[in-house]
């Protein structure tokens, strides 16, 4: 006689960047094993791939994970993890007033949100009749594109900017980045003046982030401090 199949509950959440709803189930032991093995390796690529594999299994709505932003993936995984393992996260934080005393904090995962800066926009007005529509970097891109140690920060940031262009348009015409070569996009970005390029960089600097601020009290100094935790990795540090 075949063993019984245990049905998992189905939950729903809203993807931060698109406001589309997706249904998902908690991960099971088989999938938790994938994550634990990846965490044990301490290899960033393996951990990222494990997260994408688990989400691919758990999300019940048809969706292209490779097209989602990094903060979308982080937010979805955090919620899947909450329904799978527990709603509360416990970890150690170093008190910022002395940078040495550690205190244990507990955070309800439901309180962790994707925060968007008020001035953030994905449409850049170049003030010459042209606009640039930007797209958010994906997990897949970050996995494939590592920071090149042989290149300067300026060069790596420049390549990041080029990758995040979705289209260029004016009142009469639109040029899709997907229809352009990397050389053409590079030459376009190189033709921008300093103020225009800074506007494009601001898109990256103000990009939405998964973050949460907690108050910690240093038991030695009695000082209360606000500590902001950003990014999925830091929530499981």
Decide if 42 contacts 196 (C-beta within 8 A). Answer: no
In a domain, 176, yes or no: yes
The DSSP symbol for 177 reads G
**Which positions ≥6 away from 19 have C-beta within 8 Å?**
none
Residues 22 and 81 in one domain: yes
Integer Cα distance of 61 and 21 in angstroms:
8
Within this chain, do residues 155 and 183 fall inside the same structural domain, yes or no?
yes
Rounded Cα–Cα distance for residues 237 and 221 (Å): 24
In a domain, 116, yes or no: no
User: Residues 81, 16: one domain?
Assistant: yes
How far apart (Å, rounded) are the C-alpha atoms in residues 172 and 194?
25
User: How far apart (Å, rounded) are the C-alpha atoms in residues 206 and 215?
Assistant: 24
How many other CB atoms sit within 10 Å of the CB of residue 177? 21
233: left (phi over 0), alpha (psi -120 to 50) or beta: alpha
**Statement to judge: residues 96 and 48 lie in one domain:** no
Domain that holds residue 190: 123-205
pLDDT in tens, the chain (237 residues): 777 777 789 999 999 988 999 999 999 999 989 988 988 887 778 888 899 999 999 999 999 998 899 999 999 999 999 999 888 888 889 999 999 999 999 999 888 889 988 889 999 999 999 999 999 988 877 777 665 556 677 888 888 899 999 999 999 999 999 999 999 999 999 999 999 999 999 999 899 999 899 999 999 999 999 999 887 777 665
């Amino acid at each position: 006689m075949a063993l019984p199949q245990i049905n998992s509950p189905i939950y729903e959440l809203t993807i931060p960047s698109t406001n589309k709803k997706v249904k998902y189930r908690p991960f099971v032991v088989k999938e938790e094993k994938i994550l634990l093995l990846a965490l044990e390796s301490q290899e960033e690529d393996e951990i990222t791939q494990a997260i994408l594999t688990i989400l691919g299994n758990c999300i019940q709505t048809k969706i292209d994970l490779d097209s989602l932003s990094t903060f979308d993936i982080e937010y979805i995984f955090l919620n899947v993890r909450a329904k799978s393992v527990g709603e509360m996260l416990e970890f150690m934080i170093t008190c910022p007033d002395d940078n040495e005393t550690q205190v244990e904090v507990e955070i309800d995962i439901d309180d962790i949100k994707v925060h968007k800066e008020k001035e953030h926009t994905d449409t850049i007005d170049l003030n010459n009749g042209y606009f640039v529509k930007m797209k958010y970097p994906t997990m897949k891109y970050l996995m494939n594109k590592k920071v090149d140690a042989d290149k300067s920060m300026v060069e790596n940031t420049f390549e990041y900017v080029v990758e995040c262009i979705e289209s260029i348009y004016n009142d009469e015409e639109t040029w899709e980045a997907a229809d352009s070569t990397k050389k053409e996009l590079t030459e376009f970005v190189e033709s921008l003046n300093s103020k225009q390029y800074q506007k494009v960089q601001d898109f990256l600097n103000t990009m939405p982030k998964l973050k949460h601020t907690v108050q910690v009290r240093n038991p030695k100094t009695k000082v209360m401090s606000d500590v902001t935790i950003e990014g999925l990795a830091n929530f499981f540090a």
